[in-house]
Amino acid sequence: MKKQMVFFMILSLAVLTPVQTAQAAGPWAAIIKAAIKKVVKAVDLLIQRRQNAVIKLQNAQKALENTMAKMHLDEITSWVKKQRDLYKEYYDELKKVKAVIAYYFRVKQIAEKQLQIVQQYQKAWKLFQNDRHFSYGELIYMQKVYAGMLEETAKNVDMLTSVVKSFSTQMSDVKRLEMIDRVARQVDKVHDELVSFNRQNQMLSLSRARSEFDAKVVKELYGIQD
């Protein structure tokens, strides 16, 4: 039910006027940003806990190494074997924890890129709305395209949230990595499409400049380099 309501909110953006969509898209984008920030915060907590675990394991390893160095290992073979097995357990667990931390950092990077998408959309849409080189119909088309991108971003946020939750379940590393890769590809796709779409609109505005001064204003507005 919740996802259906979210989907309806996104679709409603496409049938509103540019002025109405500006008012509606603002809160909707804010909702997505808030969800992304929750994901980032959750991942930060997970990273902190895992890093604490790494410190404990490293300290245990160091203590074990110091103890073994002080003993006459050749005189207590069975004890040595037992301690080496324990050392191996620490080492294996340390590798696992570090691998999970690597997953966490990648999830955080994906979430932060999603946040960039929303922020770039908000900035571009605000500028395009106030650009007199675009017609009313063109602004409506732009908002429909942006609505589709926001919809994809919302879906990606849901998937990324599922990935974060998967760390507390029995999901295999292979399956989890597949999910992370899938989300990463989709986020990259939306990001590249957004950048390309914004660039096309910026260049279209520049092509419609009626004077050198007008062109200069457009370049400064969008940060277009000569």
Distance CA 122, CA 22 (A): 9
Q: What is the mean pLDDT of residues 191-219?
A: 94
Question: What percent of the chain clears pLDDT 70, i.e. is strictly above it?
Answer: 70
> Which amino acid is residue 94, in one-letter code?
L
Q: Give the count of beta carbons closer than 10 Å to the beta carbon of residue 17.
A: 12
pLDDT at 68: 60
Q: Tokens 């996104």 map to which residue?
A: 10
Cβ burial of 24 (10 Å; 0-12, 13-18, 19+) is middle
Is the Cβ–Cβ distance between 129 and 22 less than 8 Å? Answer: yes
- Tokens describing residue 26: 């603002």
pLDDT at 112: 92
- Tokens describing residue 177: 């990595």
Query: pLDDT higher for 67 or 55?
Result: 55
Which DSSP string do the residues of 107-146 spell out, in sequence order? HHHHHHHHHHHHHHHHHHHHHHHT-TTS-HHHHHHHHHHH
pLDDT tens, position by position, 139-181: 999 999 999 999 999 999 888 888 888 776 777 778 888 888 9
pLDDT at 131: 93
**102 phi/psi in degrees, rounded to 5:** -60, -40
* Average pLDDT of the residues of the chain: 78
Distance CA 216, CA 197 (A): 21
Q: Categorize the per-residue pLDDT at 45 as very low, low, confident or very high, splitting at 50, 70 and 90.
A: confident
Query: pLDDT higher for 79 or 45?
Result: 45
Q: What is the mean pLDDT of residues 71-93?
A: 63
Residue 114 has pLDDT above 90, yes or no: yes
Q: What is the mean pLDDT of residues 32-36?
A: 83
Q: What is the mean pLDDT of residues 4-29?
A: 48
Q: Which residues, including other chains, have CB under 8 Å from residue 26's CB and lie 6 or more apart?
A: 122
What value does the CA radius of gyration of the chain take, rounded to a whole number of Å?
26
Distance CA 153, CA 1 (A): 19
Q: Categorize the per-residue pLDDT at 16 as very low, low, confident or very high, splitting at 50, 70 and 90.
A: very low
Closest of 194, 36, 181 to residue 114, by C-alpha = 36
